[in-house]
Chain A
Amino acid sequence: GENVEQHPSTLSVQEGDSAVIKCTYSDSASNYFPWYKQELGKGPQLIIDIRSNVGEKKDQRIAVTLNKTAKHFSLHITETQPEDSAVYFCAASKRGGGADGLTFGKGTHLIIQP
């Protein structure tokens, strides 16, 4: 089955700086890579996703890049703000979800220092 590794487990950055979270996956058949943000006391919520036919996708201050050859993908947050503080999860799956849907990384706790 799929295995997703996520680094770092904790990331502290100064407000206004950029943050990068990296993930690798093991199954070359995976072709859907979402990122979820979990705020304290809430369930995870999708913030951006990318499919294997695209190398990069942006949405305002958030971008995701994908390198299928190396089997890794990254989340980039620019001009970080206090509300970006949360736990971020990457995930991977085959198109259509497969039997078990998404395989998640273990999460990155992003701390934005004022």
Chain B
Amino acid sequence: NAGVTQTPKFQVLKTGQSMTLQCAQDMNHNSMYWYRQDPGMGLRLIYYSASEGTTDKGEVPNGYNVSRLNKREFSLRLESAAPSQTSVYFCASKAGLYSGANVLTFGAGSRLTVL
């Protein structure tokens, strides 16, 4: 089925460990996004990639890095995890930054716990 695939679905880290969340979409979308979801905070944008080869900071980028590996894949890396990064992370994509439609397609989420 077409869509956005995230791995892993669950991960537990110790403070200071590093890890990468993977995201891939098969809809030939140009733009990809990483959001975090915390209770009472809604969805906050961490980083986005308007097109292959470009990345930009969102609302809460500190402590994260991203890589747009190719048109399909957009990864999120935590270099030194902190308890404040305990959250549910969602990857999303849409057809284009300046396309007429702004419909975001989300993955199922990755639940990260930092001890």
Binding site for B on A (CB under 8 A): 6, 9, 32, 34, 36, 41-46, 49, 89, 93, 95-97, 99-102, 104-107
CB-CB < 8 A to B33: which residues of A? 101
| Cα separation A34 to B103 with both chains bound (whole Å) | 8
Q: Which residue in chain A gives the minimum CB-CB distance to B33? A: A101
Q: How large is the interface on B (under 10, 10 to 19, 20 to 34, 35 or more residues)?
A: 20 to 34
Contact partner of B107 among A41, A43, A93, A99, CB < 8 A?
A43
Chain B 64-101 residues near chain A, CB threshold 8 A: 90, 92, 94, 96-100
* Contact between B103 and A46, CB atoms less than 8 A apart: yes
Given contacts A42-B108, A45-B106, contact A101 B99 (CB under 8 A): no
* Contact between B102 and A43, CB atoms less than 8 A apart: no
Interface of A is mostly: loop
Given contacts A97-B97, A101-B31, A101-B48, contact A107 B103 (CB under 8 A): no
Given contacts A42-B109, A97-B98, contact A104 B31 (CB under 8 A): no
| Cα separation A22 to B41 with both chains bound (whole Å) | 17
Contact partner of B102 among A34, A41, A99, CB < 8 A?
A34
* Contact between B98 and A44, CB atoms less than 8 A apart: no
8 smallest A-B Cβ distances: which pairs? A43-B106, A106-B42, A96-B98, A104-B43, A104-B42, A97-B102, A44-B106, A32-B102
Distance in angstroms from A103 CB to nearest chain B CB is 8
Given contacts A100-B48, A106-B42, contact A49 B31 (CB under 8 A): no
Distance in angstroms from A60 CB to nearest chain B CB is 19
| Cα separation A105 to B90 with both chains bound (whole Å) | 16
CB-CB < 8 A to B92: which residues of A? 43
CB-CB < 8 A to B107: which residues of A? 43
Distance in angstroms from B43 CB to nearest chain A CB is 4
| Cα separation A36 to B50 with both chains bound (whole Å) | 21
| Cα separation A106 to B92 with both chains bound (whole Å) | 18
Distance in angstroms from B39 CB to nearest chain A CB is 9
Q: Which residue in chain B gives the minimum CB-CB distance to A43? A: B106
